[in-house]
């Protein structure tokens, strides 16, 4: 396992707010969303209102990318900030299925304030199953790897 893969995994685990890019009538639309890792690090969970355009876009086209970055502290060159972009497909985790309760609990464990939204009927729980990751760890430090590489690193850190 490379150090750069562990850095990417640590960034995914440490953050919880990211830019989700969807297709909106064939054009890109980026929205900020909260995310949590699922219980087996197989994917990332989003709990989104169907009133939001990005949610409607996900239902129409499940191909997405998610950009996660370390916070900008206003010090130094922002080009040196760590960032990882995950690309893959989302799927709805339907209420009443075997997968819903553990995924919902995992999300609420990460975001306790989200619990009341689970009572609202217009929210859907999505799981992003990434296929690949592109990581930039600063100037001239970049790598591309599979989600399985990141997932393996998540179990080590």
Distance CA(64)–CA(23), nearest Å, equals 8
> 9: how many CB neighbours lie within 10 A of its CB?
25
> What pLDDT band is residue 47 in, cutting at 50, 70 and 90?
very high
Mean pLDDT of the chain: 96
Q: What's the Cα-to-Cα distance from 94 to each of 45, 50, 58, 86, 99, rounded to whole Å? A: 12, 14, 14, 23, 8
CA 141 and chain centroid, separation: 22
Query: Is residue 127 over pLDDT 90?
Result: yes
Give, in order, the Cα–Cα distances in Å from 137 to each of 25, 84, 156. Answer: 33, 8, 19
Task: Give the CA angle between residues 81, 12, 48 to the nearest 5°.
Answer: 110
Residue 140 has pLDDT above 90, yes or no: no
CB 86 within 8 A of CB 130: yes
């Amino acid at each position: 396992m490379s150090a750069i893969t562990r850095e990417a995994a640590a960034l995914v685990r440490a953050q919880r707010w990211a830019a989700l890019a969807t297709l909106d009538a064939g054009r890109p639309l980026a929205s900020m969303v909260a995310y949590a890792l699922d219980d087996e690090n197989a994917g990332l969970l989003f709990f989104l209102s169907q009133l939001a355009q990005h949610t409607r876009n996900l239902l129409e086209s499940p191909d997405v990318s998610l950009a996660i970055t370390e916070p900008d502290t206003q010090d130094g060159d922002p080009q040196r900030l760590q960032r990882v972009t995950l690309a893959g497909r989302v799927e709805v985790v339907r209420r009443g299925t075997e997968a819903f309760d553990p995924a919902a609990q995992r999300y609420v464990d990460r975001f306790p304030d989200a619990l009341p939204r689970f009572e609202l009927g217009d929210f859907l729980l999505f799981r992003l199953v990434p296929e690949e990751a592109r990581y930039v760890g600063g100037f001239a430090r970049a790598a591309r790897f599979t989600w399985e590489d990141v997932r393996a690193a998540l179990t080590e850190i």
